Amino acid sequence: METIKTVVLQGSAIALALLILASLLRAVLGPRFTDRIIAVNVINTLVVAEIVLLSVLLREDFLVDVALVYALLSFLAVVIVARLVLLKRRGMPGQKKQRGGSRHV
């Protein structure tokens, strides 16, 4: 029974690693900036899942704490980047607006 559990956990870890690589490809190629932000967020979520999976596989409880801290930092990073994108699209206070057509990033 223990070997089946180990094989399933290792297979899940490999599947998560492949999904991380696919998301990384989307983050690099993604046509728009928002696609890249979402892909990075998906990568962070998959990394948290991978760390928790490794915590179970290696029987190391402290890795769950590492995963929680990483998830919190990932959430804060996405919120900050989203805020910066909104400020850039609206135009920062004190910044002159450009005349002519609008630019999309």
User: What's the confidence (pLDDT) of residue 67?
Assistant: 96
Triad 16, 31, 37: Cα angle to 5°: 50
Q: Can you give the pTM of this predicted structure?
A: 0.79
According to DSSP, residue 11 is labeled H
Q: How far apart are CA 27 and CA 56, in angstroms?
A: 29
Q: What is the pLDDT of residues 4-62, one digit of tens each?
A: 999 999 999 999 999 999 999 999 998 988 888 899 999 999 999 999 999 999 999 99
Total domains in the fold of the chain: 1
Tell whether 98 is covered by a domain: no
- Domain range for 36 is 2-90
Check pLDDT > 80 for residue 97: no
Q: Is the pLDDT of residue 95 over 80?
A: no
Say if 35 falls within a structural domain.
yes
89 vs 95: CA distance, rounded Å: 12
100 inside domain: no
